[in-house]
Amino acid sequence: MANVAAIQWYFPSELDEVPEILTQEGVIPHSGGTGILWGGLTRVRGLMDVSRLDLRFVRKRDGALTLGAALSYRQTVEALAVKGQILAQSLHCAATEPLRNRITLGGSISMFPYWSDLMGPLLALEAELSLVGATSGIRPLSEYVTNRKLRQNTLITSIRLSDASWQGTYYRHTRTPTDRPAFSITVLMRRNSKRIEAIRIVVIGCRGRFRRLTEIENALNGAPIPGDPAELIATASGKLNFDFPARMGFSAEYLKACALIELERTLGSALGSTQRDPS
């Protein structure tokens, strides 16, 4: 059996208390608590519970949306569902209802598993994070996930979406409805009756954890809406260069083949040529 040291709990109620708590060796935030055990507790000496901090808010100001990091997936869906927001679509399908009641935004960003239903929409929306601790201030999410130093001894306090008004389509590749996805695809689009004004595409779960498909975005940005979107999509997909590791009983080749097919379908759905259910 793994040797687990006695764990000290901390319950700050003010953000001012956080930096000092997190400078201690082996002390990490505890939010929903659904992910901490995946990593094992052998090096954990202390857990800083975030539930007494004021981190469960939804604020809208000047077109920007700010979400507190301790909001659960369920609370986020409830806050955003009326607007048809892409995050409401993706988080509504994640895991099971009891888990959605616990899993939080901050814990899910910090952990970033390949099965995340949160990270595709947030990366596509070019989210920014508010951080407190060894690093404090506002940083782009894309920097947080690629710079290990930003994640050490640091608490995510909120997520800012400066422009959340995109039309979104989300796909998760699962074996059953409550399964975690082997990969997911997020497409955000703005279009008029004639042209694609702007498009963003993010794949989660490929090698390197995620890819923003800028090669396809560049080919489609400003392109006329075709009579038959299949042709445009096939040309765009030909520019793709991504791979998947084998996982969940799927081979790498099979996952790549599935991802290409599902990318075409998701783009088709975003262009309005087909309807699809995200799950």
Ligand X SMILES: Cc1cc2nc3c(=O)[nH]c(=O)nc-3n(C[C@H](O)[C@H](O)[C@H](O)COP(=O)(O)OP(=O)(O)OC[C@H]3O[C@@H](n4cnc5c(N)ncnc54)[C@H](O)[C@@H]3O)c2cc1C
Candidates 235, 183, 180, 173; CA nearest to 207 is 183
Sign of CA dihedral 154, 156, 160, 165: positive
The piece of 104-112, 140-148, 229-237, 268-276 that touches ligand X (CB under 6 A) is: 104-112
- Binder of ligand X out of 118, 203, 204, 259 (CB under 6 A): 118
For residues 250 and 244, what is the distance between their CA atoms, to the nearest angstrom? 10
- We find the least distance from the C-beta atom of residue 32 to ligand X, in angstroms, to be 3
Please tell me whether residue 35 binds ligand X under the rule CB under 6 A. yes
Instruction: Decide whether 32 or 229 has the Cβ nearer to ligand X.
Output: 32
Q: Is-contact 241 260, C-beta < 8 A? A: no
- Binder of ligand X out of 108, 169, 186, 266 (CB under 6 A): 108
Closest residue to bound ligand X by CB: 107
- We find the least distance from the C-beta atom of residue 12 to ligand X, in angstroms, to be 12
Instruction: Decide whether 89 or 116 has the Cβ nearer to ligand X.
Output: 116
Run of H or E including 22: helix 18-22
Q: How far is CA 178 from CA 80, 99, 105, 121, 210, in A?
A: 21, 11, 19, 19, 22
State CA 181 to chain mean position distance: 12
Instruction: Decide whether 106 or 268 has the Cβ nearer to ligand X.
Output: 106
Q: How far is CA 202 from CA 5, 45, 170, 214, in A?
A: 40, 36, 10, 9
- Binder of ligand X out of 94, 124, 145, 267 (CB under 6 A): 94
Please tell me whether residue 219 binds ligand X under the rule CB under 6 A. no
Q: Site mask, ligand X, residues 141-180, x = CB under 6 A?
A: --------------xx-----------------------x
- We find the least distance from the C-beta atom of residue 70 to ligand X, in angstroms, to be 7
Q: What is the CA radius of gyration of the chain?
A: 19
Q: Site mask, ligand X, residues 51-90, x = CB under 6 A?
A: ------------------x---------------------
Region 229-248 residues binding ligand X, contact defined as CB under 6 A: none
For residues 207 and 278, what is the distance between their CA atoms, to the nearest angstrom? 22
Candidates 264, 193, 273; CA nearest to 235 is 264
* Residues contributing to the site for ligand X (CB under 6 A): 28-36, 50, 69, 94-95, 99, 102-104, 106-108, 110-111, 113, 115-118, 155-156, 180
